[in-house]
Amino acid sequence: MIALVRPAAPLNRYIQNVPLNYVALAAWLRERGFAPLILDMVLPGMTPEAVDRAIREHGISVVGIGAMTCEMPQAVAEARRLKEAHPGLRIVFGGAHPSADPEECLATGAVDHVVVGEGEIAFERLLTDVREGREPAERILFSPVPDVDSLPRPAFDLLDLPGYFALESPWHFPKSRRAVQFITSRGCPYRCSYCHEIHGKRYRGMNPQRVVDQIEWLVKEHGVEELLVVDDIFNFDLERAKEVCRGIIERRLEVHLQFPNGVRGDRFDEELVALMRRAGTHYFAIAIETVSERFQKLTRKNLRIEPARQTLRWARTHGIEVCGFFMIGFPGETLDEVRATIDFALKEPFDTVFFSLVAPFKGTRLRTDMIQGHFGEMSSEGAEALEQLFPSVHNAALPAELLLRLRRQAYWRFYRRPRTLANLALHMTSATGLRKVLRAVRRRIFEPETSSLN
């Protein structure tokens, strides 16, 4: 009856990961009597023809598609293709971009319903109506957030996990190719204006015992050897984070951990860093974004730089690699402010750095702030750029071409350092590691048009 389809998008050439949102949603639906399929077009062999065949063979009447902004063109194209190939098929969109602008999705003519926010409860209600022969009353469905401790274990058994293990693992260099994404909490109470709000602004941490139970299940039942923890803010509750780490240590679970989505750099103590290392952590990212106090306030991030710097030093002491996330090109940001952020990134002992160009995505407070003049009056060119979601052109003082050049120069300066080169060399002992490094160099230095936005 229901299939969750992930179209192949350009981003998926670089992040070939399990569809974590799909396995969470599928588990919820299966627990309530539905039989969901997951059809992931990232996997080799899952062609449009294979998707069509599965839809026909299983009598699928509803297809759910999730999308971030960068995935929307492919999501809409696949929805249209499915509509044409399977007359009467009901298409439901969800995820970050549809939650931010559901009307845009409906206006494509390829989408029947949009689920806003976390999809479990609203999607279940829609499917119940369809199963019982009722036409859903609404095209836009707002979903209440579920209790995270009521969520069933993600339906990893519905995936071809060996197929994902054979792909190039996302983000940082994994210790094992048997790596999957994993979450232990939903929501973040901080109100950074450039960030999504799909999980709301209330932190909801799963009970540490349940977290460790799920980790043990993945390790022992599915042969997982590395977890990429992608919580919005794993370390918001320090004691809970420590309990998770202690549980892994006490059960002697042999698993590697990394936190590629970023942790809050000013919410640590050394005990947590030490426990994370003992639990198997070999990498995490700290989202600094900017060292400008003015823009820390304007973007509502309000990160305390000195505690974040101390966390970096604790991590290096305990043998954890650290990436620094930075953003340049805030509206109204001066050249001196951009250079101060770059200089900080180059001065501090980060193992890797990533510079994003600021983009006011739909559904973010940053976009609203710009429209309302929170950063000053916007030029006509800026207004047009805003509609196209192109980064930084709205900043008349610092055009996109200058920001791209500054970023390229920053990467050259960082990755030519002997210590950085020596660290990268440690990861280039395999063909996979070598490809990852060469690809990163190509994208960051020679292909700025493919560079990531915030």
Radius of gyration of the chain (CA): 22
Least confident of 132-146, 267-281, 323-337, 409-423: 409-423
pLDDT for residue 163? 92
pLDDT for residue 371? 73
Cβ-contact 67, 100 below 8 angstroms: no
Please tell me what DSSP assigns to residue 453.
Answer: B
Cβ-contact 235, 267 below 8 angstroms: yes
Q: Which residues pair with 38 in a beta bridge?
A: 4
> Which one has a higher pLDDT value, 399 or 454?
399
Mean pLDDT of 279-291: 96
Please tell me what DSSP assigns to residue 133.
Answer: T
Element (H, E) at 131: helix 120-131
Supply 242's token pair.
């420590």
Nearest by Cα to 7 from 39, 30, 32: 39
- Give pTM, 2 decimals: 0.89
DSSP per-residue string spanning 38-60: EEETTSTT--HHHHHHHHHHTT-
pLDDT for residue 399? 78
pLDDT for residue 330? 87
pLDDT for residue 381? 53
CA–CA separation, 141 and 113 (whole Å): 7
CA–CA separation, 155 and 280 (whole Å): 24
Model confidence at 240: pLDDT above 70: yes
pLDDT for residue 392? 41
Nearest by Cα to 149 from 206, 191, 204, 87: 206
- Write b or e for each residue in 323-337: b if 16 or more Cβ atoms lie within 10 A of its Cβ, otherwise e: bbbbbbbbbbbeeeb
Q: What domains, with CATH codes, occur in the chain?
A: 2-145 (3.40.50.280), 168-426 (3.80.30.20)
Cβ-contact 451, 183 below 8 angstroms: no
Three-state secondary structure call for residue 66:
strand
Mean pLDDT of 394-409: 76
CA–CA separation, 129 and 135 (whole Å): 6
CA–CA separation, 126 and 105 (whole Å): 17
Encode pLDDT of 200-219 as tens digits.
Answer: 889 999 999 999 999 999 99
Supply 162's token pair.
């060996």
pLDDT for residue 388? 52
Which amino acid belongs to residue 342?
Answer: I
Encode pLDDT of 297-314 as tens digits.
Answer: 999 999 999 999 999 999
Encode pLDDT of 353-397 as tens digits.
Answer: 999 888 788 878 888 887 777 776 545 455 454 445 444 444 445
Supply 135's token pair.
């036409």
Interior CA angle at 413 toward 410 and 419, to 5°?
130
CA–CA separation, 42 and 19 (whole Å): 9
CA–CA separation, 371 and 358 (whole Å): 15
CA–CA separation, 448 and 133 (whole Å): 51
Residue with tokens 């950063």: 375
Encode pLDDT of 68-108 as tens digits.
Answer: 888 899 999 999 999 999 999 999 999 999 999 999 999 99
